[in-house]
Amino acid sequence: MGTGNLHIDLSALVENWQALDRQSATNTGAVVKADGYGLGAGRVSKALATAGVRTFFVAAVEEATALRASLGPDPVIYVFSGHMAGDTQTLSDLGAVPLLNSPEQVARHSAALPDHPFGLQLDTGMNRLGIEAYDWSPEMSQDASLVMSHLACADEPEHAGNKAQLKAFLDMTAGILAPRSLAATGGILLGPEYHFDMTRPGIGLYGGLPFKGAKPVAHLDLPVIQTRKVNAGEAVGYGHAFIADTPRVIATLSGGYADGLIRAMSSTAMLYAGDTPCPLVGRVSMDLLTVDVTHLDEVPDHLTILGAHQSVDQLADAAGTIGYEILTSLAHRYKRSYA
């Protein structure tokens, strides 16, 4: 193989959803935005629908178009960006449900699609999307199918922002009859008071933190193109960022920042030959990585960068980022397989 092999374990994905679903007594949807967090929204959503998911969330109406084609007419698809100018016909054709974020969107939706379902997103302290408290009236929710907000600090259970946002959500939605949703993955783990009528896990489905019990979903093997002996004092890669202090054996692998293996993991990430760690040395380039395999008795035909020994979050730590960025950056040059 000339490019990496990205294997997506759909059974692990489903088990992660089931585990999060068991933690609440509410309905549990699934967030499949950003092409199913980089793993293929079509295949991911079909597996989740087969497991019982009936409500999906995407970022924009363009994502809803692809999702509806995969899922058919029955599942509910919510659109976080709401009813943007130019979305009217597509929302109508798809039966997708916008989560209205402002009085302007409420007015647009009421005028353009008065009989079309809608939800509402409230800002409870994140200051990103949602109707502000000073613009909010509970009467807005009279025909809404869902009223939601989003927690900014749910991955830090002790953060004061969680309780503050919970209180704001309770205050703003007091007395309304519409179903409510506050918890994504982190919110589910905070406990029942955050669950309301619908939870909507995202990153935890795909094997990421803060769901520490998640099974890994993405497995990535990179083929070894070439190996060479490097003498002490010789340099490897762009900028001569790595200089061997002793004789080394260096493997060159197919994979680089064009494949989502970001440059920030240069000289810090680890790859694995079976159970044996092998350090990435030198800079990540567009298409290639260089890895020190001096200590191996035999160099295999591939090394593993995501798998049993290294999660997306562990790889993200090496790059000074988060698992979300690693997953959603995985490019389409990989050969993908699903099981």
- Per-residue pLDDT tens digits for 111-123: 999 999 999 999 9
The chain-wide mean pLDDT, for the chain, equals 97
- In-domain check, residue 94: yes
Radius of gyration (C-alpha) of the chain in whole angstroms: 23
First to last CA, the chain: 19
**Residue 92 — pLDDT band, cuts 50, 70, 90?**
very high
Helix (H, G, I), strand (E, B) or coil at 284: coil
Could you give the percent of the chain with pLDDT greater than 90? 99
Helix (H, G, I), strand (E, B) or coil at 193: helix
Provide the angle, in degrees to the nearest 10, between the axes of the packed helices 41-51 and 10-22.
50
CATH number at residue 243: 2.40.37.10
Residue 283 has what pLDDT?
Answer: 97
The catalytic position among 163, 238, 324, 334 is 238
Could you give the percent of the chain with pLDDT greater than 70? 100
Same structural domain, 241 and 135:
no
As a whole number, mean pLDDT of residues 237-243 equals 96
**234/14 Cα distance (integer angstroms):** 48
Structural domain range at position 247: 218-338
**Residue 2 — pLDDT band, cuts 50, 70, 90?**
confident
- Per-residue pLDDT tens digits for 48-60: 999 999 999 999 9
As a whole number, mean pLDDT of residues 81-107 equals 97
- In-domain check, residue 145: yes
**Residue 1 — pLDDT band, cuts 50, 70, 90?**
low
Same structural domain, 57 and 191:
yes
- In-domain check, residue 212: no
- Per-residue pLDDT tens digits for 306-325: 999 999 999 999 999 999 99
- In-domain check, residue 213: no
Same structural domain, 126 and 256:
no
DSSP string, 122-182: B-SS--SSSB-GGG--GGGGTT-S-EE---SSTTSTT-HHHHHHHHHHHHHHTT--S-EE-
- Look up 212 and say whether it is catalytic: no
| Res 190 pLDDT > 80 | yes
The catalytic position among 33, 37, 78, 324 is 33
- In-domain check, residue 5: no
- Look up 238 and say whether it is catalytic: yes
Domain end marker among 206, 240, 274: 206
Same structural domain, 191 and 246:
no
Same structural domain, 165 and 223:
no
Closest Cα to residue 56, out of 38, 80, 40, 39? 80
**Residue 332 — pLDDT band, cuts 50, 70, 90?**
confident
Total domains present in the chain? 2
Same structural domain, 26 and 154:
yes
